[in-house]
């Protein structure tokens, strides 16, 4: 929305105005084009504010922030909580969280079938690269693309 004119900017006009190449690609072609199977979406929050992640996740009786607060967060491997039931083992949603530098925590929701160690490591690698190379003051798209390409292979 363009607040100066109180009107919406059509996507074809908006995408080229984005300052980062990864954002332009995600805007034009969709995030799946850039990240493929590695990542759907994630929250990035300062660790001390993780309790502000509100909203329920299907199959959980508490807010996302309350679940994340109890997770053993490290910078090495993503923490994981899944809500399988005895009636349907291996089904349902999982929550993963990873501590990043500068007191940041990445939190994402994934299907139980995507929660194996290799998939989690790929997702964590993608998030680290996006934060390091894509969200940096000066984007390094070549480095981001190299990490994403290696994660796909």
Count of other CB atoms within 10 angstroms of residue 119:
16
Average pLDDT of the chain, as a whole number: 82
Q: How confident is the model at residue 9 (pLDDT cuts 50, 70, 90)?
A: confident
Top mean pLDDT of 70-79, 89-98, 105-114 is at 70-79
Angle at 17 between CA 8 and CA 148, to 5 degrees: 115
139 vs 61, more confident:
139
With pLDDT > 90 as the criterion, what percentage of the chain qualifies? 24
pLDDT at residue 133, as a whole number: 94
* DSSP of 59-94: T-SSBHHHHHHHS---SSS-EEEE--BTTBTT-SEE
- The mean pLDDT of 79-99, rounded to a whole number, is 79
Q: How confident is the model at residue 93 (pLDDT cuts 50, 70, 90)?
A: confident
Confirm if 43 and 107 have CB atoms less than 8 A apart.
Answer: yes
């Amino acid at each position: 929305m363009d607040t100066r004119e109180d009107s919406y900017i059509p996507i074809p006009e908006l995408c080229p105005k984005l300052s980062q190449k990864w954002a332009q690609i995600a805007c034009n072609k969709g995030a799946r084009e850039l990240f493929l199977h590695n990542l759907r979406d994630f929250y990035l929050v300062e660790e001390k504010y993780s309790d502000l992640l509100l909203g329920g996740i299907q199959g959980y009786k508490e807010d996302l922030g309350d679940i994340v607060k109890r997770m053993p967060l490290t910078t090495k491997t993503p923490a994981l909580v899944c809500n399988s039931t005895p009636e349907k083992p291996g089904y349902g949603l999982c929550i993963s969280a990873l501590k990043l530098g500068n007191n940041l925590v990445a939190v994402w929701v994934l299907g139980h079938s995507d929660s194996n160690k290799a998939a989690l490591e790929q997702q964590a690698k993608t998030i680290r690269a996006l934060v390091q190379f894509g969200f940096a003051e000066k984007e390094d798209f070549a480095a981001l693309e190299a990490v994403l390409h290696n994660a796909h292979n």
